Structure 1
Amino acid sequence: MAVNHNLIEDRFVDVPGGRIFVRQWQPAEPRSAVPLVLLHDSLGSVGQWRGFPLHLSQQLQRPVIAYDRLGFGQSSARSALPSANFIVEEAEVIFPVLCQAMDITRFCLLGHSVGGVMALTIAATQAEACEATITLAAQAFVEERTLEGIRAAQLEFAQAAAFNKLVKWHGEKARWVLDAWTGAWLSPAFRSWRIDPCLPQINSAVLVIHGDNDEYGSVAFPRHIAAGVNGRVEQVILQQCGHLPHAEQPEMVLDLIADFIQS
């Protein structure tokens, strides 16, 4: 029987606008003290990473940290919907406060979907502190497939059974979470958004992972990100994989991340 030697710690951190829920997985004998910080997707939360952070911490033998953004999971509720500049705001306003509160001076980043976009943005704005950046199913611009996928999800979440899955993770904040996602990405003001300004500013090595069947974005996204990064970049297109690489092909993704971080 495998023995879990990881310590799991939960805490709340005060940030502008409320407080965020943070969970840390700490191995007993870490090879590195530099944490890998996870950034969740548009409907995500700490809980929705499921067993992935623990497996990451065990395989990498370093701390892994995940947090619920304001309005999500166990973090403070929000009333106003995010602005069109919400990605940059997360990178410039919230993330530095989290690092200061947890005494994090250097870090690696891993983000899923829009969390991957936030990871790239943080890597650009805090280039000297970021050692490595990993994206899973990150967007590079607003593609028609992205909008079609969101509209299809809107119809799905109109059904009580689907919406109740959001309630399981976000409680009374579930409606806000859904409206924040669809409202931001379907807004005409967001159609011109692109990741391009951030990419040349990233100093860290970058690993871009994307599924060939991602329902929210084609392989044009990882190719665009990889082409725009100045430094070392690795791009992996997973075959027969959708928008959740870490859930659909967890062993492959864990191995890719471990090889990348250790190299």
Structure 2
Amino acid sequence: MPLPVSTREHWIGTEKGQLFAQDWTPADARDEPILLLHDSLGCVALWRDFPEHLARATGRPVIAYDRLGFGRSERYPGALPLGFIDDEAREHFPALQRHFGFERCVVFGHSVGGAMAVACAAQHPQACAALITESAQAFVEHQTRDGIRAAEQEFAREGQLERLQKYHGDKAFWVLRAWVDTWLSNDFSDWNLDAELALVKCPILSLHGEQDEYGSAAHPERLTSVPGVPTVLTLLPDCGHVPHRQQQSAVLDAVGDFLRRFGGATAG
């Protein structure tokens, strides 16, 4: 019989604006929560039913939030800075930790949210019991930029921006330009996670679709090359950039197995 899961909505004040968050908590949940960090065009609503299924499959509370400028959170004050990935870990992870009252959590990020999850684990090693990345980029790759250029052309077609407006309202154009302009910027071309990965002390699971249109297998290989911690690399055949939607059962199985093996371990 499936675990009953309760859900609540939250509003979290920060110096730059209010964040929207939601949690899914199974009955009798005891382990550290899983914190979900969304992709460049994402938000809580775009995780769809995955958080509830993840909570049931793991028996852990699941927390998702809209980054500032996305979904139901308030507007971002100005242009997105090039240091936005590290900024998210430094500024908003502590706010979420205070609001939800967890000492430790599992950070789980999709796409650029995976890079943010790495930054969280690097900056807050005592607070991160495990790190899970899904379709994450570890550096700027030609394939990533080519995929973004193709998506930009698609969104330029009549009616396509409405797809984003459904989730981001009148912030949709800002969301699109923040993604495209940042990743295609010359100033961002040398970005990578090497320094952050060197600071990660918790077990790492990296999930990646073999047909991911935004990055090759070089990314999960880099993400699981951290010495001294348990790492698991899972390549999903016949899968693109959104494994939690395209192959949800395989993702839930991989995450469940990883957390049973390593979810409470931390390197000294």
Q: Under TM normalisation by the shorter chain, which class is it? A: over 0.9
**Partner of residue 222, structure 2:** 224
Closer, same or farther in 2 for the Cα pair 1:131/1:4, shift >3 Å?
A: closer
Distance 1:15 1:184 in 2: 23
Distance 1:27 1:35 in 2: 11
Question: Residues 104-183 of structure 1 correspond to what in structure 2 (within 5 A)?
Answer: 104-183=102-181
Contact kept? 1:196, 1:228, Cα under 8 Å: no
Contact kept? 1:30, 1:62, Cα under 8 Å: yes
Aligned to 1:193, what secondary structure does the other structure show?
A: coil
1:111-147 deviations in whole A, cap 9, x for unaligned? 0000000001100111111101100000010000110
1:78 CA drift (Å): 2.1
1:170 maps to a residue whose letter is H
Segment of structure 1 superposing worse, 102-111 or 246-255: 102-111
**Partner of residue 215, structure 1:** 213
Aligned to 2:109, what secondary structure does the other structure show?
A: strand
Contact kept? 1:202, 1:229, Cα under 8 Å: no
Distance 1:253 1:245 in 2: 7
Distance 1:60 1:14 in 2: 29
Distance 1:154 1:229 in 2: 37
Gaps of 5+ in 1: none
1:31 CA drift (Å): 4.1
**Partner of residue 240, structure 1:** 238
Counting matched residue pairs gives 261
Aligned to 2:13, what secondary structure does the other structure show?
A: strand
Percent identity between matched residues is 43
Closer, same or farther in 2 for the Cα pair 1:192/1:48, shift >3 Å?
A: same
1:46 aligned residue (22, 44, 47):
44
Distance 1:225 1:38 in 2: 18
Gaps of 5+ in 2: 262-268
Segment of structure 1 superposing worse, 86-95 or 73-82: 73-82
Distance 1:158 1:79 in 2: 25
TM-score (ref. length: structure 2): 0.95
Contact kept? 2:19, 2:65, Cα under 8 Å: yes
1:250 maps to a residue whose letter is Q
Task: Flag as ranges the 4+ runs of structure 1 deviating above 4 A.
Answer: none
